[in-house]
Amino acid sequence: MVLKNEDGYELWLRYHLVDDAELLAVYRQQIREIVFPGDSPTLRVARGELQCGLEGLLGHEVMLSESVTEDGAIVCGTPESSAKILEQKLVDLDTVGDEGYVISQQVVDWHQTIIIAANSDKGVLYGVFAFLRLLQTQQSLDGLHIVSAPKVKLRMLNHWDNLDGTIERGFAGHSLWDWHKLPHYIDPRYTDYARACASIGLNATVLTNVNANALILTEPYLHKVAALADVLRPYGLQVYLTARFSAPMEIGGLSTADPLDADVAAWWKAKVDQIYSILPDFGGFVVKANSEGQPGPHDYGRIHADGANMLADALEPHGGICIWRAFVYDADVQEDRAKQANSQLVPQDGTFKANALLQVKNGPIDFQPREPYHPLFGAMPKTPLMLEVQITQEYLGNATHLVYLAPMFKETLDADTYVKGPGSTVAKVVDGSLDGHDISGMAAVTNIGDDRNWCGHPFAAANWYAYGRLTWDYTLSSEQIADEWLRMTFSNDEDFVDTIIQMMIDSRESVVKYMMPLGLHHIFAEGHHYGPGPWVDGIRPDWTAVYYHQADAEGVGFDRTASGTDAVSLYNPPYRDQLANVDTCPENLLLWFHHVSWDHVLKSGRTLWDEMCLMYQEGVNEVRQMQQTWETLEGKIDAARYMHVKKLLVVQEREARWWRDACLTYFQAFHGKPLPEGVEPAEHDLDYYENIVHYYVPGIPERRFDKIGTHS
């Protein structure tokens, strides 16, 4: 059978006919009518989604009914919107809060019925998507009883979209938001974006780049924002904006942005009042301040809490929150960048307002392929900390490499801070349970653009999906999430799913091997971070590769033990003690915490140099294995997406070799040791790799031509 070509636009919401004839017959018996009263905007979209999904999956229309008339009814609603839900007195509803749901087989009016119930209209919508997911993944409905509630309250996407339509670190085209045509033209794609977000339980979106433009806070743009919010609201998405700290000067005419200046505070209060007059359910601000040249309270001798609290005060009467990014480091401070956030923010623990949160990256440097968890987690018990991860693959090959990031997200969430003994995981810090915080959240820098398939690489949408599922329930396994996504996006064919799950699970580790094994980090090309650049030097030190790898004739790696920067002291025992000892430090973080001799013998019995070389080669070999695996699946999915992935795997294999050859040739120059057996020699000399220049790499706000090379 020749499968119809698909372009990926439907994402995981492909409501295609169930292809298992026996199961389809069972579903048709179990689902005969829908009882779905209520007329709120959210209930209307939930009812429409359920009807659309069932029509596609079952191959016929399922009629709406005002009451249960036969076996096979689906009753949806809240105790307020549905008399049948109220009559059932579902005890489980007491446990799912405002956004959770219950899906359960019940007897209603003497008929076998499936109930989708929640305490809020938004919870009903989430329940509808969860029920459709069961059908899409061909699960049995017998004995159905699901009680589900989100573990994190604020489940947010951060768009690094600029008002000119570009996206910083965006690798899937231009921005979804057409600011020029808003508010008068509403692209239908906005609704499909909202559907996708709601289907995985996301409830907040930040529309603009953290490197903020104050123009977004002017009245004409606020009306554009309100038009977008009108589309997103029925799907449970609350809109946030990034606030440029110097906005009072840039659009307000003030001579200062000092957070302790009364006129500045009054300006922000008036601005916030104006925002809420136009957008009554505005969520609040996300702020990047005093980092990478962005303005902030330090410009006036103030601390971060001063800035965050001023904005929190303005937002508080309206129920808004201020999210202050903890990605703070100063070029004029010589301290190890891995320590700067702790040095600046830990002394301020307990000084932030109740409606202010700190948004902390998963690691202390900058979204590297592997980092230890950020030491702020567990170090600020009086302050709610949000986890920030990056879905867009800034440091992971952009949108040309197949990299499934659920294992990376889980690595951070499952990490143990030991701050209150074993089991004090980052997840428990983030969800507020460890320190008793009512407010909690996760944020992710999205990979969404206007490419037809949304995310560029056909597999990149898996990371958007996985992030949403983990914000709802971080105990889900990477395997389970991959299984769901594959079945919903491609096929329920068991051979296909079983084969590709393992490829997805292994993919992140493969990339680490061919980019930065053994704890190497930040050795990317300057600026665009696309490709290797271990030789990068001559700019501010903590933007260079040589600052981080510290390679010399004796060895390689950044000493963060007591004999170096002592960043290891920011972690709690026993993890601290494990990291501090070169013999017990996890080898996947060895060069993150230690400067290690090239001849140091690792657990494998090989020297550091030989192990590094072989890991680079393993990464290349594993991409080749991915290619071979994918080629066995021709005909299992449509030809268009099959060929798209196949061709991108060719690119990935080429670039894996580029990483291997450039890095090993560079590091080999320090000591002259030969490549061990099994490692392919580089195709070119070091000068060749150092002179590769890429122009117009997507996602870069500035296009620079300060170095002209012959290779691209």
Active site residues: 292, 366, 394
Q: Give the phi and the psi of residue 26 in degrees, each rounded to 5.
A: -65, -45
Query: Would you state the structure tokens that stand for residue 510, as one six-digit string?
Result: 């493969």
* Residue 418: CB atoms within 10 Å: 17
The alpha-helical segments, DSSP class H, found in 562-707 are 575-580, 590-593, 608-631, 639-671, 686-690
Measure CA 427 to chain center: 15
Distance CA 191, CA 247 (A): 31
H or E stretch at 342:
helix 337-345
Please give the full DSSP string across 472-493, using - where no structure is assigned.
Answer: H-TTS-HHHHHHHHHHHHT---
* Residue 347: CB atoms within 10 Å: 12
Residue type, 339: K
Distance CA 51, CA 55 (A): 6
H or E stretch at 190:
helix 189-199
* Residue 312: CB atoms within 10 Å: 23
Distance CA 591, CA 515 (A): 13
- The DSSP code for 634 is B
SS3 360: strand
Q: Please list the residues that pair with 156 across neighbouring strands.
A: 204, 443
Q: In 362-519, which ranges are E strands? A: 385-390, 441-445
Helix 406-413 with 478-489: angle, nearest 10 deg: 150
Query: Would you state the structure tokens that stand for residue 60, as one six-digit string?
Result: 């016929």
What phi-psi label fits residue 59: left (phi over 0), alpha (psi between -120 and 50 degrees) or beta? Answer: left
In the block, tokens 């179990």 appear at 30
Query: Would you state the structure tokens that stand for residue 149, as one six-digit string?
Result: 């509630």
The alpha-helical segments, DSSP class H, found in 368-474 are 406-413, 426-430, 461-472
Query: Would you state the structure tokens that stand for residue 538, as one six-digit string?
Result: 């001559």
Query: Would you state the structure tokens that stand for residue 41, as one six-digit string?
Result: 């905007």
Measure CA 576 to chain center: 27
Query: Would you state the structure tokens that stand for residue 75, as one six-digit string?
Result: 């009753």
Asked if 326 and 358 touch (Cβ cutoff 8 Å), the reply is: yes
Strands 111-118 and 101-108: antiparallel
Q: Which are the contacts of 138, defined by CB distance < 8 A and separation ≥ 6?
A: 18, 20, 23, 487, 492
Query: Would you state the structure tokens that stand for residue 542, as one six-digit string?
Result: 């903590």
- The closest alpha carbon to 593, from 298, 339, 226, belongs to 339
- The closest alpha carbon to 340, from 291, 299, 297, 385, belongs to 291
Asked if 307 and 289 touch (Cβ cutoff 8 Å), the reply is: yes
What CA–CA distances, in Å, run from 370 to 222, 378, 411, 590? 39, 20, 9, 11
Asked if 449 and 183 touch (Cβ cutoff 8 Å), the reply is: no
Distance CA 458, CA 455 (A): 7
